[in-house]
Chain A
Amino acid sequence: MNDVNPDLDLDLRGLLCPMPMVKVSQNISNVPVGGVIRAVATDAGSMADIPAWAKSTGNEVLKAEKEGDEFVFLVKRVK
């Protein structure tokens, strides 16, 4: 999964609820359909929020993992 080449990198470190999810949502239209955003957050709530956002908006989370103190996401724009 780590070999995916993201179309956009988002640094969400230091942002708290609801900002990580809002930023992903604001930026999803900046990648083409099928494109991937790589987002790094420090807010623990984003581990639940970003997958829930993807479920609601019909996008796909390819990866949501804790790496040290950070949470790393790969989000694919489906439509």
Chain B
Amino acid sequence: MSPGPDVDTTLEQVAAVAAEPSDKPKKLSMVVFSGDMDRLFGAFIIATGAAAMGMEVTMFFTFWGLVALRNGTSTGRTLFGKMLNAMTPKMIEKAHPSKFAFFGMGRWMFNKMMHACGVTPLKELRDLAIQLNVKMYGCGMSMDVMEIPQSAFVEGVQDPVGVGFFLSEAQESQITLFI
């Protein structure tokens, strides 16, 4: 039985649908909850790597993760906000490792060791990610709670979003991570 014109049309439609996903870039969505230096390294190495591989990358920074976006300015309206500001790092370079922190000694030591190996510093990885068009968002709720306004973030960070936005991004993603 020879395929009729309607079969040809159907085949063409199927081929069109099959070809569609490959034209669309693959997507990676990440929640960055941690502000630990070592975890942030993981997050930004994956993000820059994925962007280099042609993926669209969304990073959603919440709670301690917000340090990765901060530009060093002091924040806090209330007493608690000011306390939090005084006791936590104000920029990515000051993030402490999750283990071996020792009031900054750990960071100093790891930075020395990584520099000796030629690892790209954390701040440069973050800036590279922005340059590679990785979309970075602060979580509006944790920004409010921790009294960190958008003006305390480096340039290139998108306006604050909520969980709905993250979920809609995650839904379209082939890879989702919580760091």
The yes or no answer to B49 lying at the interface (CB within 8 A) is yes
A74 to B45, CA, bound (A): 24
The reply to whether A21 and B119 form a contact with Cβ atoms under 8 Å apart is no
For the complex, count residues of B whose C-beta is within 8 A of A: 15
Tell me if A22 and B132 are in contact (CB < 8 A).
Answer: yes
Please state if A16 and B54 are interface contacts (CB–CB under 8 Å). Answer: no
Smallest CB-CB separation from A54: which chain B residue?
B53
Q: How far is the CA of A69 from the CA of B104 in the complex (A)?
A: 35
Asked whether A56 and B120 contact (CB < 8 A) given A17-B45, A18-B45, A22-B132, the answer is no
Q: Does B52 contact A (CB under 8 A)?
A: yes
Question: When chains A and B are docked, how far (Å) is the Cα of A24 from the Cα of B49?
Answer: 11
B residues 102-127 in Cβ contact with A at 8 Å: 117-120
Q: Chain A residues with Cβ under 8 A from B49's Cβ?
A: 17-18, 21-22, 49
Interface centre among A14, A17, A19, A57 (most CB of B within 10 A): A19
Within 8 A of B (CB), among A8-61: 14-19, 21-22, 24-26, 49, 52-53, 56-57
CA A18 to CA B128, docked complex, whole Å: 11
Query: Is A16's CB under 8 angstroms from B118's CB?
Result: yes
**Interface contact A16-B120, CB-CB below 8 Å:** yes
How distant is B16 from chain A, measured CB to nearest CB, in Å?
19
A residues near B52, Cβ cutoff 8 Å: 18, 21-22, 24-26, 53
- Nearest CB in chain B to that of A25: its residue: B52
Complex contact B118–A25 (CB within 8 A): no
CB pairs A–B below 8 angstroms (5 shown): A18-B52, A21-B52, A22-B51, A53-B53, A56-B55
Q: Which chain B residues have a beta carbon within 8 Å of chain A's beta carbons?
A: 26, 45, 48-49, 51-55, 117-120, 128, 132
Q: A22-B48, A56-B26, A57-B54 are in contact. List 7 more A-B contacts (CB 8 A).
A: A14-B118, A16-B117, A18-B48, A21-B49, A52-B53, A53-B53, A56-B54
